[in-house]
Amino acid sequence: MLTVDFTRFPLAAGDRVLDLGCGAGRHAFECYRRGAQVVALDQNGEEIREVAKWFAAMKEAGEAPAGATATAMEGDALNLPFPDESFDVVIISEVMEHIPDDKGVLAEMVRVLKPGGRIAITVPRYGPEKVCWALSDAYHEVEGGHIRIYKADELLGKIRQAGLRPYGTHHAHALHSPYWWLKCAFGVDNDKALPVRAYHKLLVWDIMKKPALTRVAEQLLNPVVGKSFVAYATKPHLPKADAK
């Protein structure tokens, strides 16, 4: 299940991509399949080991084209172990809402992004997320949980302040908002509640089968209750007079 829309966020074979806070690796895997040179970075060592196993399995199965590379590594988003202007593309999906110093993370991403490079940022959308917080303290009052809810204008303002130029936004995963409302209402750790189990089966079916009916329904509902807000931006080239 991808949050970044690669029809709006073009990726060329050979692009060097950083998936920052990659989690289970869903965007990193897609970039690898598209021929990129991918670095998947996360502070969770267990998840990174799983991502590395999947990279190896994809290579063995021939899922990535010739020239594509994939590396999984542990790292700190506030102190990235890469030189300046190392990447053509940076993706950070559902991460910034967890990090107290979000401006510091943005600064690091801008530092390692090449001039003319592209960045995709996704965070939980304000409205659906407010409902989750209202229904359950346990949803967000956990170690490593969500510490803020972004309004779209606030996030875009921080992106601009970091020196990036936003060029597009959209919402995603409308069908997932009701699932999380149910989880919050019945208990975030309670997977046995019938409404939660039933809706989860629906989501799994939708992800696996991609039926036209739910695809169309989600497209119509995304502007209203999409679970994620997605922003795309570029790093401008320095004017020749200012370039060193």
pLDDT tens digits for 93-115? 999 999 999 999 999 999 999 99
- Residue 232's φ and ψ, nearest 5 degrees, are -120, 140
- Token digits of residue 211: 């039926």
- Residue 26's φ and ψ, nearest 5 degrees, are -60, -45
Query: What pTM did the predictor assign?
Result: 0.94
- Residue 13's φ and ψ, nearest 5 degrees, are -55, 135
Letter string b/e over residues 150-160, b meaning 16 or more CB atoms within 10 A of that residue's CB: beeeebbebbe
Average pLDDT, the chain: 95
Does domain 76-173+227-235 match CATH 2.40.160.10? Answer: no
Alpha-carbon distances, residue 53 vs 34, 45, 56 (angstroms): 19, 13, 5
Domain edges within the chain: 76-173+227-235
pLDDT of residue 143: 80
CA pair distance 233, 162, nearest whole angstrom: 11
Give the mean pLDDT of 11-37: 97
Which own/partner contact pairs does 210-213 have at CB distance under 8 Å and 24+ positions apart?
none
Residue 241 has pLDDT above 80, yes or no: no
pLDDT of residue 238: 76
Alpha-carbon distances, residue 207 vs 121, 173, 217, 227 (angstroms): 22, 11, 14, 15
pLDDT of residue 87: 98
Residue 34 has pLDDT above 90, yes or no: yes
pLDDT of residue 243: 46
pLDDT tens digits for 181-213? 999 999 999 999 999 999 999 999 999 999 999
pLDDT tens digits for 160-185? 999 999 999 999 999 999 999 999 99
Residue whose tokens read 């990726």? 11
CA pair distance 125, 133, nearest whole angstrom: 12
Residue whose tokens read 């999984």? 72
pLDDT tens digits for 211-227? 999 999 999 999 999 99
pLDDT tens digits for 107-166? 999 999 999 999 999 999 999 999 999 999 999 988 888 999 999 999 999 999 999 999
Give the DSSP H or E segment for 223. Answer: helix 212-225
- Token digits of residue 118: 């592209």
The band of 244, judged by pLDDT with boundaries at 50, 70 and 90, is very low
- Token digits of residue 104: 């510091």
